[in-house]
Amino acid sequence: MFLVLAPGVAGGLIPWLLTRWAAGEWWPPVRVLGAVMIAAGLAVLLEAFVRFVVEGIGTPAPVAPPERLVVGGAYRYVRNPMYLAVSALIVGQALVLGRPGLLLYAAAFGSAVWAFVHGYEEPALARRFGANYEAYRRAVRPWRPRLTPWEPTRSAPSRK
């Protein structure tokens, strides 16, 4: 349900409300790039969401947080793959539809997410997972993916 509510609204419903998915004129290769971004965004979003359930034994929703720190899959490359995936969905729709206004919405979404991550999410994760999160935070950047996957040490437990 959270998958439909949060990312579904931000990455689907709001762009639809802004555009009614009416396409403007746009250069075809840009539309193809947009379609690739949408497909990649969906793949990363779904994989990351499943990882919360399987690896974290919980959800990304604050009302049902994971029991374990999620550091596998896309999280080995970047700390916020779900937010980046939703951003890719929004930008991809802007490119497919030829609607530059969606790029403004993507910027607003990114600003709101950045504020949420820095003001709430990171402090909450630090309190919940302590040294494990701090080690992960030092090794994996929040917004720019690593070129190689992070390998957590075997000695560091993934629990609180």
Q: Is 26 inside any structural domain? A: yes
Specify the number of domains making up the chain. 1
Question: Can you say whether the dihedral through the CA atoms of 144, 153, 120, 93 is positive or negative?
Answer: positive
- Integer CA distances (angstroms), 104 to 15, 87, 94, 108, in order: 11, 11, 10, 6
What is the mean pLDDT for each group of 10 consecutive residues in the chain (160 residues)?
80 94 88 97 96 92 90 97 98 96 97 97 96 97 97 58
Q: Is 5 inside any structural domain? A: no
Full residue range of the structural domain in which residue 114 is found: 21-139
Q: Which of 66, 15, 58, 65 is nearest to 38 (CA)?
A: 15
pLDDT on residue 156: 47
Q: Is 144 inside any structural domain? A: no
pLDDT on residue 21: 87
